[in-house]
């Protein structure tokens, strides 16, 4: 398992969100990002990480991406 900021392009499942305050958790839920979701990394870090969930592309700042723990789906 790695943080979203450390992974390469590919498909991942969100396992955990670490060390974030309520504001960041609320922002993630507003974006439709939840633990257990399957996402595809389109553009890895450094910088904003671009992911795809369903038909939607979402940009996530590097700081928040560091706190999102994912596991690769093979």
CATH of the domain at 43: 2.30.30.90
Q: 26-33 long-range contacts, Cβ below 8 Å, gap at least 24?
A: 27/64, 28/64, 28/68, 31/58, 31/60, 32/56, 32/58, 33/58, 33/60, 33/68
Half-sphere exposure of 25 (CA within 13 A, CB side): 8
Per the structure, the complete domain to which residue 43 belongs is given by: 2-72
Domains identified in the chain, total number: 1
Q: Name the band, by pLDDT with cuts 50, 70 and 90, for residue 9.
A: very high
Q: What is the pTM of this model?
A: 0.87
- Residue 31 reports pLDDT greater than 90: no
- Residue 25 reports pLDDT greater than 90: no
């Amino acid at each position: 398992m790695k943080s979203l900021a450390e992974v390469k392009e590919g498909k991942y499942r969100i396992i955990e969100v670490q060390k974030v305050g309520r504001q960041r958790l609320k922002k993630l839920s507003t974006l439709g990002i939840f633990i257990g979701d399957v996402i595809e990394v389109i553009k890895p870090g450094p910088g904003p990480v671009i992911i795809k969930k369903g038909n939607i592309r979402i940009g996530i700042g590097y700081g928040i991406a560091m706190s999102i723990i994912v596991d690769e789906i093979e």
